[in-house]
A and B are shown apart, each in its own frame.
Chain A
């Protein structure tokens, strides 16, 4: 028997499917499976995203006034499944677009009208201006200041580890707006325009020998008052929303090898590599590979169960485990790639792509175990917020920020 939901679901599926078959043409698909630049989207991707946004597939769970369709999670997943089936990107941004979700959650009407569209179409590039030399895990310890002058804020301070700052048009910035209240209560959250005189971006060389993250020196930079997200001095709350999205995304995946994943067929990469190296029949290695793949599959299952919980209106503790799980997965996969290679793992360079991958991934795994909040901080969060264990005493939580001790 067809229920009304069944009929609506079927209609929706038919609609996506026929739209995709008309619009997701072979040349577009071919152009988009090319290696994408890491910071910023290619022109082909941008023009495809523009089509997806115009057809309202980008953020189906969102309200219709913001490019959405007010759909339920279950219905949005139908759309995602159809896109995934033909490997078309662009939908599901109501889960995965950190920038747009944060903006929708806290932005002013002016800012939302100006930027949500371009964000969904990847027309503008973004970065995160959170960490400072003396405020990493302890983000509430930031010392970058924003002072109101008329219709804008004037910002001064220094940020660090800012990934993608070189190409960014805006940075999601936290700055101190009140020094006389305890540290969490005097922070505001902004969309800071990056292409202005007061912003000086200096690349840092990373252990991977790349330069994706930067130091950002901010001297009398201007931010229009409309660019504040959430309320004045309530940036900490806004930050929690943004961090939750960020950690969710980091829990679901990470950057692969530098040159793209050159794996044959659809075989698990560790199995393929062990086969290629002629060591797939070694019992100890088989056990370890099985365990590493299990970690990955179990994380995916956790994540799926967590999403189902959320769809049923329950909050899910499973979602906070993803990032920690992913950290273990990435470190373990890199370790096994090394073990499979043996002495060849001592090499690097384009003549030794397997070694290049193993070494790069060994180092890049720290992006997930340190970036976006370290594993240790993540464990504290799980212990305290999820399991309800007593909090660690925080010596500087209640005193005015002026009196807080720094490194």
Chain B
């Protein structure tokens, strides 16, 4: 007699579980393949856990965003925000789609150059740019976004010694009705500080002020905040035209669009509540078109969208290490992927689905990672079918920031693979090994040997 498929016995209280059972039922359907590639085969080949990126999804997100803006405004340019995910292959997908590069450190700057982005297509943001960083950016004719007066004065000095006119923008911070206001970066709009910087640049006549930049926050749930930001940047640009007879070539509205993730504590899944690309585009483009620019002087609109273009394209496949029952009766699942590689689990309730076929019986579980640390909680409560040791779980919407903010703590960083539009899998970054870490260390002579009794 053929044996039946075994599933761990579960019993779920219906009194407490009504909403779990019916409300989130369809969230738990097993997903065994991504773009035609088998998740199980990927883990067999590259190990578990493993990050999986869908090239098709990245391109689709980019094209959706680009369409939303380019159908509303004549000059739109995206610049890929490197820190969101700076795996070179990911960057190059964006560059193939037409994105420039947006970087916030010399390390990212060098990555962009090495990927083949011309200097003039790199926007250099960030509060810390050293003299040598700035010299390099000027040599390559990049767009330097000035963050503070110290940087402005340093740039004036360098431009004199290099006998070159750097192309610059200033970063502006402002009140858009959003709390907390990000006022630590750039020059303040309301206080007049931004105007002081603009006047300084124009009157010293050593730098070309070509743009104005802002980045009002991240995971912005209000499209209207962008309308406010766009109108304040437009006001500065029109003021520059009026007082200094100079055209501003571009307005850069930064990043910050929300991705389809669910913030912790939200009542509804993020996918149902966040503004769409069309909502953001309508707010920004509508404001700029009505701001009072003449048709010839309409500035280019630059967007440094990060998470909204890559989060949904990233998955983390992970295996069950153990099943536990906590002292208060709650079910606990231990996975081989924890907060060391899933930084965003501090903010999001990441969607999780089984990979193998499962019954419709579900259990609420707390999900832990493998670290010996109390903070290593991937989900405080998620409804999953009964899973066995070594069963695979797919964690969704992890493409942004995890592959850059991951840490080598207790466990090493796993492999990252990309599935191409034909369903073929490519290794983008191999899993780290102990030798990789030891290679960076050196041992003082007197500590090289010891004997243990």
Decide whether A and B assemble into one complex: no
B-side residues, CB < 8 A to A, are none
